[in-house]
A and B are shown apart, each in its own frame.
Chain A
């Protein structure tokens, strides 16, 4: 069997594939962050909490109401999106015009509240969500056995990411969104309801996080803190990619997942920190981020 640096190629390819699964989550989450940041200038620290909320919505929907996975894939992000809209209207709206750091602090507090409530209500230990019957089993890719569900995660996230990119960059709705980013007062003068757009954008951004939560529910344990360290990794991804760019956040999310997978093969001890190390390197070599325009 061929080897690279003393590691069988099959093992490397296998880890890269699993890295791509993680990368899909990073991409979905950093995309949501980028959309929210682009329009509102808010770094949404509660992103990890909304991700957990999405997973819980799917889990409780199944346990209490018998809503199956396929319905949850649509309903959970919708429900969490509504929560997001409410949060924007009640809380974030009041910070318009202030330093964006206040948005960061407010959403940090929001994350503590959401995660604290989930933990007190449902306990600290994780719960499992069954893999839907249609996605059970595994593909044999030759170099590895890929569970069908993980393949599905990659396909769905990439599809959702690129449709979001398409909507924002290529449709009339997206043009309005970008106009609001560029010059909100002017757009409002044209009769567009900008506050509504802002609220819906926040809702949409956290719905993306919730979708990531539903997708991850069958793979990892659903718990209150499933998103709290993930959100820090995603922040690092965003710093690496440069926050301004939608495409940049998708590409760097996927890429860093792969880098992480690769590290797991070569030097497992560093796999938790490799993304932060990459962030430090990028800051030294290209402070604006890989895709940043600053």
Chain B
């Protein structure tokens, strides 16, 4: 317990000081947005046992909605973010309601297919800028008081939101609701026999995960100032799975660690090896699945003697 507290304190301290340690704030913000995305994703995969292959749809559509409202309609930053998050939540409700009708691999394929549908809508809709995406998204200001143009101010905003999301997810998982989610993940028939309406719980978990993924997307749109089709592409869905897997599914901090590793890897490797970075990402995927299913944080926890569920149970909802 004590080491965990020390670790968290050090991590927060590092995050607070990062802009003054010579780390490019925009890079750190991008990293935090993907960490938020991965934590949101983990709420679904790690704690509810559902492998969605379409989370880019929520991330991307929220990013598009926010960027569009800010650029084309001059909305304020906060209302635009909220609208983006709402868009992701509604989309999550629709896709989730369809997908939870099936289990396991079918669930994965359905979310993949519906996310592809969202991708084509983003490609062809008149307001998304097609292949170009939306460029030059202004950051605006926080409640018309604090201007966000400065990278440092924006960085602290993103950091605060990330920490809030992180604490929120922890809270949800430790709540009775979270315990029921885990019960469903571990043994669905038993949860049914105990009288839980599991589909309702799964849907709420799905919508929650989609909503938080949307928040990450909206922030990312404002941080980088652009939204492109790559935000809604299946590669993006794959990457968030990889981040969660590398860090450790079903651990709290794992997905954030995984996101940090993958984003850093992409940032630095793409300068060195160019397009081969996809191949490397793919190879990391294969290696993770073969020999490293617990992820970094999961392995560390196992070394320290914590109980970690066997890999065959992760996401092992009825076949």
A interface residues with partner B (beta carbon < 8 Å): 41, 43, 91, 94-95, 97-102, 104-106, 108-117, 119-120, 228-229, 232-233, 235-236, 238-239, 243, 269, 272-273, 275-277, 279-280, 283-284, 287
> In the complex, are the beta carbons of A235 and B113 less than 8 A apart?
yes
Query: Do B234 and A232 have beta carbons less than 8 Å apart?
Result: yes
Q: Which of A110, A112, A243, A269 contacts B278 (CB 8 A)?
A: A112
Contacts of B312 in A (CB 8 A): 97-99
A236 touches B104 (CB 8 A): no
The count of chain B contact residues (Cβ–Cβ below 8 Å) is 46
Query: Known: A99-B314, A99-B315, A110-B282. Contact between A276 and B116, CB under 8 A?
Result: yes
CB pair B311–A98 under 8 Å, yes or no, is yes
Q: Are A117 and B279 in contact (CB under 8 A)?
A: yes
Cβ-closest chain A residue relative to B50: A101
Q: Give the tally of cross-chain contacts (CB within 8 A).
A: 131
B101 neighbours in A (Cβ, 8 Å) = 283-284, 287
Does B106 contact A101, Cβ atoms closer than 8 Å?
no
Instruction: Say yes or no for B82: interface residue by CB 8 A criterion.
Output: no
Comparing B1-9, B22-30, B285-293, the segment that makes contact with chain A is B285-293
Q: Supply 20 A–B pairs (Cβ within 8 Å), ascending by A.
A: A95-B290, A99-B315, A100-B104, A101-B51, A101-B105, A105-B51, A105-B241, A108-B238, A109-B284, A109-B285, A109-B288, A110-B282, A111-B282, A112-B281, A116-B281, A275-B113, A277-B117, A280-B114, A280-B117, A283-B101
Asked whether B121 is an interface residue with its Cβ less than 8 Å from the other chain, the reply is yes
A120 partner residues in chain B, CB cutoff 8 A? 274-276, 279
- Inter-chain CA distance A105–B11, complex, in Å, is 30
B261 to chain A, nearest CB (A): 16
- Contacting pair B98 A284 (CB below 8 A): yes
Cβ of A235 and Cβ of B109 under 8 Å apart?
A: yes
Contact B313 A283 (CB under 8 A): no
User: How near does chain A come to B107, taking the closest CB pair, in angstroms?
Assistant: 9
Main secondary structure of the interface of B (DSSP, over half): helix
A211 to B51 Cα, complex, angstroms: 31
- A-contacting residues of B (Cβ < 8 Å)? 51, 53, 98, 101-102, 104-106, 108-110, 112-114, 116-117, 120-121, 123-124, 234, 238, 241, 245, 274-276, 278-279, 281-286, 288-290, 293, 311-316, 319
Chain A residues whose CB sits within 8 angstroms of the CB of B117 once the complex forms: 273, 276-277, 280
Instruction: Decide: A95 near B112, CB < 8 A? Known: A104-B51, A273-B120, A277-B117.
Output: no
Taking the nearest CB of chain A, how far is it from the CB of B6, in angstroms?
A: 33
Assess A108 versus B110: contact at CB under 8 Å? Given A99-B311, A102-B293, A116-B279.
no
Residues of A within 8 A of B110 (CB): 239, 279, 283
Given A239-B110, A269-B124, A112 and B289 contact (CB-CB distance below 8 Å):
no
